């Protein structure tokens, strides 16, 4: 690696090699094999659950199959968290359902339970039927307020699909994220807490639902000597080689999670800048993995280079390695980070330090703008003021010092 400080990048431990070697020697290079079943068992043990895990090609695939498992059909409404990555909402459209965006509360930054309750009541009043599911996200590894979210879900008898893609190892009141909903989705993308290069998993309530998920994930093939299909299926299974990487990663998962929590603690102790606040666990029940360390920047804080913020269009990739960006229609959109936030991002980039704005709320995304939304202003306020700091396993204390000093040098 060069001297750049990257926001988030997974790290190989060396434990992955024996599992990969075994896959090659046994010629198990297809989407089945001993590493797949072994990885699923490893995950069940790590989560501390009797639920069944199905290893898949991505966290998005897990969300898609979770919606199918809940019986979501075209025309159904699904309550979704607005402040999240688009992969939390896209699968709702895959199944032809209607996403209904719900804003955040300011403590965890996740779905506001009061607003959710009011929104469900309003949807029933407007449509005459209940929403089919609730998709709640653990943003940046921070658990949602499950006590209150599940209370609302129980009140209306609506199942919960958990998007715990960023929350591997996080817990709420001692219970691992991904195990609270009827289904839970995990991600092992290249930027997540552990990786299988690309992959995910669906946490299922029982053996039957796991078998059904696996059926859809393997093209919905029926038990004949030839290929017989009565339903549309998908190619969503994880390969034995990818699962082998995952098995090796599981051997250092606790170490990686501890590193992220240490990085949060280090920023807590050393990021002493007036006008910049670190997002922390909002209560004793919350135990985030701090997948990303995030800060809010006071809008009155003056930063060098604010006059140059938004002076040029973004032409490089923003996101995971190998990502492709389309061409924006203009430099500005109707909802963007404040100039001082963008000035810090640009100033850090000039020093070889990657940072990134928070997720732009889904109700402000043009692709979802026509769908119902229940907004309290929290997610937009967070997006205007928020920034993600380097937090990955390659980020050392010395790197964090460099990040902090670089930010201080930008403050006027």
What fold, for 16-252? 3.40.640
Sole residue written with tokens 């396993």: 393
Per CATH, 16-252 and 254-410 having the same topology is answered no
The domain limits of the chain are 16-252, 254-410
Q: How confident is the model at residue 318 (pLDDT cuts 50, 70, 90)?
A: low
- Short-list 167, 200, 202, 166, CA closest to 182: 202
- pLDDT value of position 18: 87
User: What integer best gives the mean pLDDT of the chain?
Assistant: 94
253 vs 243: CA distance, rounded Å: 14
At 31 the pLDDT is: 67
Return the SS3 of 50. Answer: coil
Give the pLDDT confidence of 103-155 residue by residue, as tens digits: 999 999 999 999 999 999 999 999 999 999 999 999 999 999 999 999 999 99
| CA angle in degrees (0–180, nearest 5) for 383-376-264 | 40
Cβ atoms within 10 A of the Cβ of 75, count? 12
Alpha carbon distance 48, 61 (integer Å): 23
Using 50, 70 and 90 to split pLDDT, how confident is the model at 48? very high
According to the model, what pLDDT value does residue 237 have?
A: 95
221-247: per-residue pLDDT in tens? 998 999 999 999 999 999 999 999 999
Query: In CATH, what class is 254-410?
Result: alpha beta
pLDDT given at position 29: 61
């Amino acid at each position: 690696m060069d001297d750049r400080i990257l926001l988030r990048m997974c790290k190989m431990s060396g434990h992955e090699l024996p599992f990969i070697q075994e896959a090659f020697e046994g010629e198990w290079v297809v989407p089945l094999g001993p590493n797949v079943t072994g990885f699923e068992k490893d995950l069940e043990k790590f989560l501390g659950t009797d639920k069944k895990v199905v290893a898949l090609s991505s966290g998005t695939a897990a969300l898609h199959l979770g919606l199918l498992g809940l019986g979501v059909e075209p025309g159904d409404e699904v309550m979704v968290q607005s402040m999240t990555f688009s992969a939390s909402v896209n699968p709702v459209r895959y199944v032809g359902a209607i996403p209904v965006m719900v804003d955040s509360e300011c403590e965890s930054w996740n779905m506001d339970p009061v607003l959710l309750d009011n929104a469900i009541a309003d949807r029933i009043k407007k449509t005459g039927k209940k929403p089919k599911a609730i998709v709640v996200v653990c943003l940046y590894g921070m658990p949602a307020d499950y006590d209150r979210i599940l209370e609302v879900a129980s009140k209306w008898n609506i199942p919960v699909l958990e998007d715990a893609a960023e929350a591997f190892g996080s817990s709420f009141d001692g219970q691992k994220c991904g195990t609270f909903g009827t289904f839970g989705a995990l991600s092992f993308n290249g930027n997540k807490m552990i990786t299988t290069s690309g992959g995910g998993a669906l946490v299922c309530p029982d053996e039957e639902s796991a078998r059904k998920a696996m059926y859809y994930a393997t093209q919905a093939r029926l038990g004949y000597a030839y290929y017989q299909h009565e339903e549309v299926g998908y190619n969503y299974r994880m390969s034995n080689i990818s699962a082998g990487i995952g098995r090796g990663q599981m051997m250092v998962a606790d170490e990686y999670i501890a590193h992220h929590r240490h990085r949060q603690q280090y920023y807590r102790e050393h990021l002493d800048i007036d006008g910049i606040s670190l997002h922390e666990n909002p209560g004793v029940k919350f135990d985030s993995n701090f997948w990303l360390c995030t800060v809010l920047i006071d809008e009155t804080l003056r930063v060098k280079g604010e006059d140059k913020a938004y002076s040029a269009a973004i032409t490089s990739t923003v996101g995971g390695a190998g990502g492709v960006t389309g061409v924006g229609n203009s430099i500005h959109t109707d909802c963007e980070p404040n100039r001082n936030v963008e000035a810090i991002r640009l100033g850090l980039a000039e020093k070889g330090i990657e940072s990134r704005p928070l997720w732009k709320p889904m109700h402000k995304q043009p692709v979802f703008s026509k769908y119902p939304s229940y907004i309290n202003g929290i997610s937009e306020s967070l997006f205007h003021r928020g920034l993600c700091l380097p937090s990955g396993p390659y980020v050392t204390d010395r790197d964090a010092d460099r990040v902090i000093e670089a930010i201080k040098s930008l403050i006027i």
